Chain A
Amino acid sequence: MPETILDIKSLRKIYKDGTPALNGISLTINKGEIVAVIGPSGAGKSTFLRSLNRLVEPTSGEIWFRGQNMLKLKKKELRWARREIGMIFQHFHLIKRVSVVQNVLHGKLGYMSAIKGGLGWYSQSDTKEAIAILERVGLEQELMKRADELSGGQQQRVGLARALAQRPSLLLADEPIASLDPSSSERVMEYLSTFSREEGMTTIVNLHQFDMAAAYADRIIAINNGEVVFDGAPDKLQKQEVKQIYV
């Protein structure tokens, strides 16, 4: 029996202007799984992912992560939970004009005191760790560069390194390859899946491209109109159904 890491119960989100984004999603996700969330744009994929670490406040439901309900957490507890959930973004959102190493060190902020973190006094061991992670994503030559001087693919790898610096047990990736060229996309996906398997890290990745999802994920969840319309292994999903999902 695999260990459950995330248990989501009838998750709903209705935006202030009345638009419904999630209409009662219930799922369990096991430790170490690589889950691809697919669906047309505007289906609620992004809202779903952001609900998990409460960048978006869900309207109702439960999210059980490591034995606690995320939606009931107070400010400080939420910050503690967040540092175990890494996240990477479509447009990377690295802090411009700041060095690559320092961007990775931002992953450590949640573990530091407010003052030390605010002033950027990172410890020697944290810095060494950040450099080691950058080596693993093949960026040891770019340590001292400004983040905005790197190519898109490299920036996404820095984004991944920032998330890994949090030592997360859950990694959320919101369209990580949507603004990358094909070869960088493959490289980023390769890193994502390798790290997930080697670290036993659970990964939930929003993807627009079905073929990428099929190639790298253990499990595919299709969302449309804020509801789960398919949940299963990639090979169970027929071409016919894929078309329907995107309609």
Chain B
Amino acid sequence: MNLDEWKKQKRRTTFFLFITLFLFLVISLAQLGVAPGKLLDSGERIQSMLNSMVPPDVHEPSGVLEAAIESLQIAIMGTFWGVILSLILAVFGAKNLAPHWTISYIVKGFAVLVRAVPALIWALLFIAAVGLGAVPGILALAVNSTGMLIKVYAEAIEEVEKGYIEAITATGASKFQLVMQGILPLITPIFITWSIFRFDINIRYASVLGVVGAGGIGWELVRASQTMAYNEMLGITIVIFAIVLFAEWVTRFLQKWIEKSNVRAFQSNSN
């Protein structure tokens, strides 16, 4: 087969690929019953809803504020327990530290299963198991976080090159000293980055967990939508938006602080 033919064939497969992707889109839209007409029909409804949304309003500012704070607290607690659980499990999940390779597979398999169940479904399950309130929210976030964190922590530990382990072992250090003085400093930056990233995700989840009754501001939003208080819906959406922005600001601040508390501070002090 010469180059021209090869190019032609490649173009043909690409063409078929796009036709398939497009056909699948048409099928999807048809199955979902999405039709331009239907969207236009609801135009009036959207119009009146948008009208009644402005100006945004919050009926009970203190109640909403309390719920917003609770969301923040749920995110903090959920991340905290998620990080603790994941750290412990990751040591058993990393192939180079696990007592036996089967344990590593079991832990990683557990993480895959946990990841497959969306956060909100975890919240539903925990509510069924322990009742309504902030606690099922915290537990759901903690479990949902482990699905992701076990994987990334374990990978970080596995990526520590054998050479570093050899170098510390060769000094006559014990295994405990090796982990504390050699491995820990190497994985700390990865550990911090992912934990903060996970907090960012959790804050978004925490703001909607209330939808199913797991505490926080999500519930206020559902309540407003049930009473068709559209201006309140917009008001609460803005509050959620503000929480997310605030949390992003805090994490960025923390990241800078952590960077500063690292050895880098040595230079500014020594000069």
A93-B161, A114-B177 known; A79 vs B172 contact (CB < 8 Å): yes
Q: How far is the CB of B168 from chain A (nearest CB, A)?
A: 6
Whether B51 is near chain A, meaning CB under 8 Å from some CB there, is no
Query: A2-18: which residues lie under 8 A (CB-CB) from chain B?
Result: none
The answer on a CB contact under 8 Å between A118 and B170 is no
Q: How many angstroms from the CA of A85 to the CA of B166 in the assembled complex?
A: 13
Q: What residues of chain B lie closer than 8 Å to A93, measured between beta carbons?
A: 161, 163-164, 166-167
- Which residues does chain B contribute within 8 Å of A159, judged by CB atoms? 167
Find out whether the CB atom of B263 lies under 8 angstroms from the CB atom of A146: yes
Q: Are B167 and A82 in contact (CB under 8 A)?
A: no
- State whether the Cβ of A127 lies closer than 8 Å to any Cβ in chain B: no
B245 to chain A, nearest CB (A): 31
The complex places the Cα of A3 from the Cα of B87 at a distance, in Å, of 51
A107 to B172, CA, bound (A): 8
Q: Among the listed stretches A21-29, A94-102, A131-139, A223-231, which one makes contact with chain B, having 4 or more residues with CB under 8 Å of it?
A: A94-102
CB distance from A162 to the nearest CB of B (A): 7
Complex A-B: 16 CB contacts under 8 Å: A82-B170, A83-B171, A85-B170, A87-B170, A93-B161, A97-B189, A111-B172, A112-B177, A114-B174, A114-B177, A143-B270, A146-B263, A162-B167, A166-B171, A166-B172, A172-B170
Question: B residues within 8 A CB of A111?
Answer: 172
- The residues of A that contact B185 with a CB separation of less than 8 Å are 95-98
B169 located at the interface, meaning its Cβ lies under 8 Å from any Cβ of chain A in the complex: yes
Bound together, the chains give a CA A50 to CA B163 distance in angstroms of 12
Q: How far is the CB of A25 from chain B (nearest CB, A)?
A: 20
Q: At the interface, is chain B mostly helix, strand, loop or mixed? A: helix
A83 to B179, CA, bound (A): 18
Q: Write out, one digit per residue, whether chain B residues 160-193 have a CB within 8 A of any chain A CB (1) or not (0).
A: 0101101111111110110111100110110000
Query: With A120-B180, A120-B181, A145-B267 given, is the CB distance from A95 to B186 under 8 Å?
Result: yes
The distance from the CB of B165 to the nearest CB of chain A, in whole angstroms, is 9
Q: Would A82 and B172 count as touching, CB distance under 8 A?
A: yes
Q: Is B38 an interface residue (CB 8 A)?
A: no
Return B198 CB to nearest CB of chain A, in Å.
21
State whether the Cβ of B47 lies closer than 8 Å to any Cβ in chain A: no
User: In the complex, A148→B186 CA distance in Å?
Assistant: 11
Given contacts A93-B161, A96-B186, contact A106 B170 (CB under 8 A): no
The residue among A94, A108, A144, A166 with the most chain B CB atoms within 10 A of its own CB is: A144
Number of interface residues of B (CB under 8 A): 29
A110 at the interface (CB under 8 A from B): yes
Within 8 A of A (CB), among B187-237: 188-189
Q: What is the minimal beta-carbon distance from A107 to any residue of chain B, in angstroms? A: 5
Nearest-neighbour CB distance to chain B for A237, whole angstroms, equals 30
A contact residues around B171 at 8 Å (CB): 82-83, 86, 106-110, 162, 166
Which residues of the partner chain A approach B163 to less than 8 Å between Cβ atoms?
89, 91, 93
**B266 is an interface residue with CB less than 8 A from chain A:** yes
Bin chain A's interface residue count: 35 or more
Q: Shortest Cβ distance from A151 into chain B, in angstroms?
A: 16
9 residue pairs, one from A and one from B, having the closest CB atoms: A110-B172, A83-B172, A144-B266, A109-B173, A93-B167, A82-B172, A118-B180, A87-B170, A93-B163
Tell yes or no: B264 within 8 A of A by CB.
yes
Across-interface contacts of A85 in B (CB, < 8 A):
170
**A94 CA / B164 CA spacing, docked (Å):** 7
The answer to whether the Cβ of B262 comes within 8 Å of any Cβ in the partner chain is yes
**Shortest distance in angstroms between A80's beta carbon and chain B's nearest beta carbon?**
7
Taking CB atoms, residues of chain A closer than 8 Å to B161 are 93
* Cα A114 to Cα B173 with chains together (Å): 8
State the CA gap A89–B166 with chains docked (Å).
Answer: 9
Residues of A within 8 A of B164 (CB): 93, 95
Give every chain A residue within 8 A of B169 (Cβ-Cβ): 55, 82
CA distance A80 to B166 in the complex (A): 16
Report chain B residues within 8 Å CB of A61.
Answer: none
A202 at the interface (CB under 8 A from B): no
B176 touches A114 (CB 8 A): yes
Q: Is B2 an interface residue (CB 8 A)?
A: no
Residue among B173, B182, B262, B264 making CB contact with A79, cutoff 8 Å:
B173
- A118 vs B177: C-alpha distance when bound (angstroms): 4
- A119: which of B180, B182, B263 is its contact (CB, 8 Å)? B180
> Chain B's nearest CB lies how many Å from the CB of A175?
12
With both chains docked as a complex, state the minimum distance between the C-beta of B171 and any C-beta of chain A, in angstroms. Answer: 5
B99-130 CB mask vs A (1 if < 8 Å, else 0) is 00000000000000000000000000000000
Question: A65 CB to closest chain B CB, in angstroms?
Answer: 13
A114 to B172, CA, bound (A): 11
A206: chain B residues at CB < 8 Å are none
Q: Is the CB of B264 within 8 A of A146?
A: yes
CA distance A132 to B212 in the complex (A): 64
Q: Which residues of A contact B263 (CB under 8 A)?
A: 97-99, 144-146
